[in-house]
Amino acid sequence: MKVLVTGSAGFIGYHLVLALLEKGFHVCGIDSINNYYDVSLKKLRLSEIDKFCKFKNITNNYSFNKIDISDSKKLGIFFRNEKPNIVINLAAQAGVRYSIDKPQKYVDSNLIGFVNIIEQCRHSDVDHFIFASSSSVYGMNKQQPFSTLDNTDYPVSLYAATKKSNELIAHSYSHLFDIPITGLRFFTVYGPNGRPDMAYFKFTEAIINNKPIDVYNYGKMKRDFTYIDDIVNSLILLIQKKPEKSSNIITNATSRFNIYNIGNNKPITLKRFIKSIESALDKKAVINNLPMQAGDVPITYANIDDLYNKIGFAPKTSIEKGMIKFIEWYKKTYNTNN
Mean pLDDT of 238-245: 92
Mean pLDDT of 240-252: 79
Mean pLDDT of 237-253: 82
Beta bridge partners of 128: 86
Q: What is the pLDDT of residues 286-338, one digit of tens each?
A: 999 888 877 677 888 999 999 999 999 889 899 999 999 999 999 999 977 66
Per DSSP, the residues of 201-224 read: HHHHHHHHTT-EEEEEGGGT-EE-
Cβ distance 122 to 37 under 8 Å?
Answer: no
| pLDDT in the model for residue 291 | 86
- Cα separation, 53 vs 266, whole angstroms: 36
Mean pLDDT of the chain: 93
Q: Is the pLDDT of residue 44 over 80?
A: yes
Q: What is the pLDDT of residues 253-284, one digit of tens each?
A: 789 999 999 999 899 999 999 999 999 999 99
pLDDT band at 141 (very low <50, low <70, confident <90, very high): confident
Strands annotated E in 51-198: 62-66, 86-89, 128-134, 181-186, 189-190
Which of these is catalytic: 159, 173, 190, 227? 159
| pLDDT in the model for residue 250 | 62
pLDDT band at 189 (very low <50, low <70, confident <90, very high): very high
Q: Is the pLDDT of residue 33 over 80?
A: yes
Mean pLDDT of 30-38: 94
Residue 171: count other Cβ atoms within 10 Å of its Cβ: 18
> Is 308 known to be catalytic?
no
Number of H helices, E strands in the chain: 12, 15
Domain boundaries 2-190+225-264+300-316, corresponding CATH code: 3.40.50.720
Mean pLDDT of 21-27: 97
| pLDDT in the model for residue 219 | 83
| pLDDT in the model for residue 218 | 82
